[in-house]
Chains A and B, each alone.
Chain A
Amino acid sequence: MNYNWNWGIFFQPNPMGTGTYLDLLLSGLALTLETAVLAWIIALVTGSIVGVMRTLPSKGAYWFGFAYVEFFRNMPLLVQLFLWFFVLPEILPRAAGLWLKQLPNAPFWTASIGVGLFMSARVAVQLQAGIGSLPRGQKQAATALGLTTVQGYRYVLLPMAFRIILPPLTSEFLNTIKNTAVAITIGLLELTGQARSMQEFSFQVFEAFTAATILYLLVNAVVVTGMRILERYVAIPGYITGK
């Protein structure tokens, strides 16, 4: 293989004046995590609302939830990011569009919201399945106790459903982290983006990508371990996963 390996490259200064190439990659990692966490919050909040709507008795709510999920699930994430980043500001009134485009860190906000909404459809589906898996008696018992629908969801159904769907939510969170890499296309310099710019500046392709790969594996391991602990902590007694 006629390739000049140079593993020392990580400790050489990067042209951005922000320290070494390793610092460059770590700043990318930090941005990946920030974007992923913000996106995950958006996904959890909107996904929960939509997921609940899909289980409500109201026909209108059900159809809204259905349309929402289909909309965000049937388009590639990349296309959705393009819609948010390139198309939305152009079809808004000029002043609003300009404000959007000149936001500092526009790629960061666009990526967080874009990935967040994309993932929210998946969260909604998981939550709907979680609520659907609960015995019908729980909802009826809540009603019999005089709880309103809101209270029934808040105190009975959701605490159960979320604990049941925790394992699939873990993998959806991991997917969120991975999906932030797609934002490289709208100029977000997250981990994959920084690995690529390191490759461009230093020409050390394989070192750069190897380092990014290792960092992703580490993040994955940390998240999986953390979630395992959380899963054990909140497990419902009496279920297979319970104590």
Chain B
Amino acid sequence: MLGNFDFDVIRRSLPYLFYEGMTFTLTLTALSALGGLIFGTAIALMRLSGYKTLGRIAGLYVDFMRSLPLVLVIFWFYFLVPYIGQWLTGASRPISVGAFASSLITFIMFEAAYFSEIMRAGIQSISRGQPAAANALGLTYAQTMRYVVLPQAFRNMLPVLLTQTIVLFQDTSLVYVLSIPDFLGAASKVAQRDGRLVEMYLFAAFVYFTISCVASFGVRRLQSRIAIIR
């Protein structure tokens, strides 16, 4: 059956697959990772803040997000975000949010739960003496976090954070359920239009595999380099 494998359909659709599909996927991955890291760090700080209520809210948020399948969350947000926008801005009607913005918000909110757990572990890995020393030097809480704790936590956790970003890169393919042309969505549109499922899905698998493999190889090298410095 592989005899009539049609490479031409892949070659013809390459510009669409990469200029539109892969650009969407990579932009979504990068921005979600950045947003998820910032929001996740905030959640981690809330959990470790020592304020009970604040910590509990943050904990509930993390547990809640981690209990739900991403597909369900994607549906939720796609339909709900405009109403939240309306509520936040007090507008008279739902705020129109495009497909990209909606997916971005979804992934930031969802991944923040996972990034926050990593950052929490990172912050906890720093010895108690350091914040104490910072305190003794007269640094405020914000300064201690900004200049002492977070940079180290981030560095220690960098390999784990990057591995989670690779998972995120793969997870973005789920926006397929909304018919949004990310890399896989683009591939499936061509596949269905031309009836070339085998070629397009194998090619998509190959591209995801190659990128993830190279990225995780890079993370492993980074990990060993960091390990030596320590």
Q: Are A and B in direct contact (Cβ within 8 Å)?
A: yes
Q: Contact residues of A with B, CB < 8 Å? A: 1-3, 70-71, 73-80, 82-83, 86-87, 90-94, 97, 174, 178-182, 184-185, 192, 195-196, 205-206, 209, 212-213, 216-217, 220
| Chain A residues in 8 Å Cβ range of B171 | 76
Nearest A residue to B171, CB-CB: A76
In whole angstroms, how far apart are the Cα atoms of A181 and B75 in the complex?
Answer: 12
| Chain B residues in 8 Å Cβ range of A76 | 170-171, 173-174, 184, 208
CB contacts under 8 Å to A, within B75-96, are 75-76, 79-80, 83, 86-87, 93-94
**A1 and B1 within 8 A (CB):** no
Judge if B202 is at the interface, Cβ distance under 8 Å: yes
In whole angstroms, how far apart are the Cα atoms of A216 and B173 in the complex?
Answer: 22
Can you list 20 A-B contacts with CB-CB less than 8 angstroms, sorted by A residue number?
Answer: A1-B83, A2-B93, A74-B216, A79-B173, A82-B205, A83-B201, A86-B198, A90-B198, A178-B68, A181-B69, A181-B71, A181-B72, A182-B174, A196-B75, A206-B79, A206-B80, A209-B72, A209-B79, A213-B68, A216-B69
CB within 8 A of A94: which of B1, B70, B83?
B1
In whole angstroms, how far apart are the Cα atoms of A181 and B76 in the complex?
Answer: 14
Known A-B contacts: A87-B197, A195-B72, A213-B76. Give 16 more (CB < 8 A). Answer: A3-B83, A70-B216, A74-B170, A76-B184, A78-B176, A78-B184, A79-B204, A82-B197, A83-B201, A83-B205, A87-B198, A91-B2, A92-B1, A181-B69, A181-B70, A181-B72
**A74 and B198 within 8 A (CB):** no
Distance between A88 CB and nearest chain B CB, rounded to angstroms: 9
| Chain A residues in 8 Å Cβ range of B70 | 178, 181
In whole angstroms, how far apart are the Cα atoms of A94 and B208 in the complex?
Answer: 28
Distance between B2 CB and nearest chain A CB, rounded to angstroms: 6
**A97 and B83 within 8 A (CB):** no
CB contacts under 8 Å to A, within B189-215, are 197-198, 201-202, 204-205, 208-209, 212-213
**A83 and B72 within 8 A (CB):** no
Judge if B136 is at the interface, Cβ distance under 8 Å: no
Interface size for chain B: under 10, 10 to 19, 20 to 34, or 35 or more residues?
Answer: 35 or more
Distance between A218 CB and nearest chain B CB, rounded to angstroms: 9
Nearest A residue to B82, CB-CB: A1
Nearest A residue to B210, CB-CB: A74
| Chain B residues in 8 Å Cβ range of A86 | 197-198, 201
Nearest A residue to B76, CB-CB: A209
Distance between A82 CB and nearest chain B CB, rounded to angstroms: 5
| Chain B residues in 8 Å Cβ range of A196 | 75
Interface centre among A82, A90, A92 (most CB of B within 10 A): A82
**B72 and A192 within 8 A (CB):** yes
Distance between B71 CB and nearest chain A CB, rounded to angstroms: 4
| Chain B residues in 8 Å Cβ range of A70 | 213, 216
**B72 and A212 within 8 A (CB):** yes
Distance between A81 CB and nearest chain B CB, rounded to angstroms: 10
Q: Which 4 A-B pairs have the closest CB atoms?
A: A181-B69, A74-B212, A76-B170, A220-B67
Judge if B147 is at the interface, Cβ distance under 8 Å: no
Distance between B196 CB and nearest chain A CB, rounded to angstroms: 10
Judge if B228 is at the interface, Cβ distance under 8 Å: no
CB within 8 A of B212: which of A75, A92, A195, A209?
A75
In whole angstroms, how far apart are the Cα atoms of A76 and B213 in the complex?
Answer: 12
Nearest A residue to B217, CB-CB: A70
In whole angstroms, how far apart are the Cα atoms of A213 and B75 in the complex?
Answer: 11
CB within 8 A of A185: which of B170, B177, B216?
B177
